[in-house]
Amino acid sequence: MAGARALLRHCPLLLPQDRRGTAYEGFVTAQGRDFHIRILLPVDLQLKNARIECSWRLKKILHGYRHILKQRLHSCPDLVSFMVELKTVLEIALKNTQDLHIPRPPEYYSCLVRDLEILGWNRVAYVDTGLTTVKLKAEDSCGRQHLITLKLNAKYPTEPPGCLVDFPVPFAVSWMPQNSLIDIYNQFLAALESLKEFWDALDEIDGKTWVLEPENPTRSATTRRIAIGNNVSVNLEVDPRHPNMLPECYFLGADHEVNPLRTKLNNNMHLWDPEISLLQNLRELLEIDFPSRVVLEKSDFAKDCGICYAYRLDGSVPDQVCDDPRCGQPFHQACLSEWLQGLPTSRQSFNVIFGECPYCNK
């Protein structure tokens, strides 16, 4: 009874729907606003197994706080304590999103529509119904398509919008109160051209070699793992500001396969020519031809792990290979580590585990 009174005191609009106290429905209040909510408890009244249903508006506000609320459900001793926690989290969520609820003055809309008309509606890829999010599209000099997402606050154009781009480097906007969307768009175009050589280099790699990782690279991705041969690959880290310079190279594969490649790279490093493409430089320094996409399939290099018999495991692909030339079976690092740690014959020295290959016992 005391618990019911405490709940009524903290949440006067949340009422029990049955005698057992397993269902509550009503409203939770925060910052003077009421949000519909329904709480269903199991028969044993354990909060960790509770189910919460709410309006779409409340669900949207609390979207980024779901893991916190789940933790609170597991840690709070009773429903009253949880509702106090829920109201605290809701206050924080509303404070962090209050800009979305500030009514825009008429000047905001007239200014935004005027700026979009000046920019050209053909450059607009998306506008939300509240006119707070705008996506603009652009094509660089090589025909690549790009998007910039603008999050506008109620003080636009006095304050600049937030900008989201798929770039490998930060994109900082220079803004004055008299600026408009066309100024941001022009800065966006200039940034695209400054990254042209970087994207040219990676596009050539993506088009002419077998890229094992990432599977679907974004424009911001600076790494590529390229197949060299069966269970042999090189991981490149390309500097987006200096794409024609020698990238960081890390070889993956059996020692008898990658050691000659490391030797060639070290011996030929002085031959790197920034006037030719990154891919051509790699061919000449390593003295190899990368497997052709025309002749071979990716499946020729994408070998499954010899332990879990899968290619991808939590996003990772096999990157450990048996050093025996007659075996060369690849494994996920996590699978191999767990396997070797379970063997009574394996031994560990610092962070290296030594043991028998699960495939050939060498």
Same domain? 116 vs 80: no
Confidence of residue 4 (pLDDT cuts 50, 70, 90): low
Candidates 306, 246, 313; CA nearest to 279 is 246
Candidates 124, 118, 151, 150; CA nearest to 136 is 124
CA distance 52 to 39: 5
201 within domain boundaries:
no
Task: Say whether pLDDT at 105 is over 80.
Answer: yes
Task: Say whether pLDDT at 98 is over 60.
Answer: no
What domain count does the chain have? 4
Higher pLDDT: 231 or 172? It is: 172
Same domain? 6 vs 94: yes
Signed CA dihedral, 295, 256, 308, 350: sign only: negative
pLDDT at 3 (0 to 100): 58
Candidates 201, 191, 213, 208; CA nearest to 146 is 191
On the 0-12 / 13-18 / 19+ scale of CB atoms within 10 A, 211 is: buried
At residue 222, the 3 state secondary structure works out as coil
162 within domain boundaries:
yes
pLDDT at 248 (0 to 100): 93
> Of 160, 194, 228, which residue constitutes the final position of a domain?
194
- Asked if residues 40 and 50 have their Cβ atoms less than 8 Å apart, the reply is yes
pLDDT at 301 (0 to 100): 62
CATH number, residue 180: 3.10.110.10
123 within domain boundaries:
yes
203 within domain boundaries:
no
> Of 99, 116, 135, which residue constitutes the final position of a domain?
99
Same domain? 2 vs 95: yes
143 within domain boundaries:
yes
Same domain? 89 vs 23: yes
The mean predicted confidence, pLDDT, of the chain is 86
Helix axes 66-75, 79-96, angle to 10 degrees: 160
Task: Say whether pLDDT at 163 is over 90.
Answer: yes
Secondary element (H or E) of residue 115: helix 106-119
- Asked if residues 74 and 47 have their Cβ atoms less than 8 Å apart, the reply is yes
54 within domain boundaries:
yes
pLDDT at 300 (0 to 100): 60
Give per-residue pLDDT as tens, 270-308: 999 999 999 999 999 999 998 877 666 665 666 777 777
- Asked if residues 357 and 343 have their Cβ atoms less than 8 Å apart, the reply is no
Same domain? 167 vs 222: no
Same domain? 88 vs 156: no
Task: Say whether pLDDT at 1 is over 60.
Answer: no
112 within domain boundaries:
yes
CATH number, residue 341: 3.30.40.10
Same domain? 308 vs 287: no
At residue 25, the 3 state secondary structure works out as strand
CA distance 47 to 100: 32
Mean pLDDT over 143-165 rounds to 91
- In terms of residue numbers, what domain contains 27? 1-99
309 within domain boundaries:
yes
> Of 283, 300, 317, which residue constitutes the final position of a domain?
300
Same domain? 119 vs 171: yes
CATH number, residue 254: 3.10.110.20
Mean pLDDT over 230-249 rounds to 91
Task: Say whether pLDDT at 101 is over 60.
Answer: no
